[in-house]
Structure 1
Amino acid sequence: MSLKEKSSDPTNRTQYGTPSLCELRRLLWADRRPAGPVSQVWPGLYVGDESTARDKGLLSSLKITHLVNSAHGPNRINTGAQFYSDMKLDYYGVEAADHPEFDLSQYFSSTASFIKAALSQDGKVLVHCAMGVSRSGALVLAYLMICEVLTLSEAVIAVRLNRDICPNSGFLEQLRQLDLSLCEQRRVNTESEAND
């Protein structure tokens, strides 16, 4: 059974509990391998670093149509839409600091919507930050949870099959809160459907 099939099976979820920060760290740190500059982590969805985002030849060869810069801004990776003006590429910038106190969760839904819209048009999306590990990893996990209906544990496992990511502790806690909220919404929806 694939992750997607497991995630749509409500009986598979009855015993699920959102992992603690310690459990998440164990899951993220187990069997670590060096991450290259870019990795496909889901069909049409890539996580990469700054060098990948600046390599227009590589972006073209990967057929990237949409790009999420999760380190956007003048004091970070200041590419912006104008950097890609000579390419057919839709740009989405997230001004996020890779700091545990930064509230990245404010961008979870909007970034997930951007990625979902791109993939629904058969696009290919690169989500990047400086190293392709923390900010971009957290935003991709949020997308998988919100739009692909994976639990946080399933999302981490899916991404880690192809790339080592390690969102900082603040981002992990924000993802835990998202997981708790989504699990509660699914529980309420399942009970509501059962009562109809």
Structure 2
Amino acid sequence: MLHTKSYSSETSSQAPYETPALSDLQKLFWFRGGSDNHLDQVWPNLFLGDAWAARSKATLQSFNITHVLNAADGLYSINTGARYYKDLQVAYHGVEAFDDPSFDLSIFFYDAANFIHKALHTPGGKVFVHCAMGISRSASLVLAFLMIHENMTLVEALKMVNSHREICPNTGFLSQLRDLDIKLNEERKGVRESDSKEP
């Protein structure tokens, strides 16, 4: 059963949320609860998976996928592209990312999050996000979406996705997500403070 409640209120009754250290975030992956299927639903109508599922049109059709986000796009990676799906009526978005800790994936966080958000708000929209294995590049973009559009903290997003699919973003991506978490947390604090000052 997937949870659809808002996660922003969970920390309000306790001490203010602070982004954990990178080493503490990595420990969250020790608690395995998800699966390692070719694709898994990790949020309502949002699926995360691997290259096999991306190339299996029958699989995508069976899940009624309407949008595909390829986080390993490019000639020498998973070179599907919009033309590959032309007979499926699927909207395609490609991100040319490398699963390397030195690669700056953060430049794609907002574009990818907005693509997922818009797709999920399309009538009947179902989104499949993938890379080669569905554990690092694509998982990082799904986490960014949950943080940006669903107001989750990084810890909440990690626990949510990892409970449905075993993921493990590389240390560079996790560090970039941590920076995003700090930025979003500061923005939320600012909004809360301005709200509390209003008469």
TM over 0.5: yes
Structure 1 residues 78 and 6, CA, compared in 2 at 3 Å: closer, same or farther? closer
Distance 1:183 1:13 in 2: 15
Structure 1 residues 22 and 9, CA, compared in 2 at 3 Å: closer, same or farther? closer
8 Å CA contact 1:67–1:127 kept in 2: the answer is: yes
- 1:50 counterpart = 2:51: yes
8 Å CA contact 1:68–1:128 kept in 2: the answer is: yes
- Measure how far apart 1:95 and its partner are: 0.3
8 Å CA contact 2:72–2:95 kept in 1: the answer is: yes
Equivalent of residue 149 in structure 1, options 151, 154, 160: 151
Cα RMSD over matched residues? 1.6
Extract structure 1 runs of 4+ deviating beyond 4 A. Answer: none
Which residue is 1:126 aligned to?
128
Distance 2:126 2:35 in 1: 23
Structure 1 residues 11 and 110, CA, compared in 2 at 3 Å: closer, same or farther? same
8 Å CA contact 2:7–2:156 kept in 1: the answer is: no
Which residue is 2:161 aligned to?
159
* Aligned residue identity for 1:165: I
TM alignment of 1:1-12, pairs within 5 A: 4-8=5-9, 11-12=12-13
Structure 2, gaps ≥5 residues long: none
Distance 1:153 1:171 in 2: 14
TM alignment of 1:17-28, pairs within 5 A: 17-28=18-29
Give the SS at the match of 2:102.
coil
Distance 2:197 2:71 in 1: 42
- Measure how far apart 1:109 and its partner are: 0.3
Which residue is 2:98 aligned to?
97
Percent identical among aligned pairs is 49
* Aligned residue identity for 1:72: D
Deviations 1:87-111 (A, max 9, x none): 1100000000000000000000000
Distance 1:186 1:13 in 2: 16
* Aligned residue identity for 1:145: M
- Measure how far apart 1:3 and its partner are: 7.2
Distance 1:53 1:134 in 2: 16
- Measure how far apart 1:84 and its partner are: 0.5
Distance 1:23 1:4 in 2: 25
Which residue is 1:113 aligned to?
114
- Measure how far apart 1:138 and its partner are: 0.4
* Aligned residue identity for 2:55: R
Distance 1:39 1:138 in 2: 15
TM alignment of 1:71-86, pairs within 5 A: 71-86=72-87
Which residue is 1:189 aligned to?
191
8 Å CA contact 1:4–1:150 kept in 2: the answer is: no
8 Å CA contact 1:53–1:59 kept in 2: the answer is: yes
Structure 1, gaps ≥5 residues long: none
- Measure how far apart 1:9 and its partner are: 5.5
Equivalent of residue 139 in structure 1, options 138, 141, 154: 141
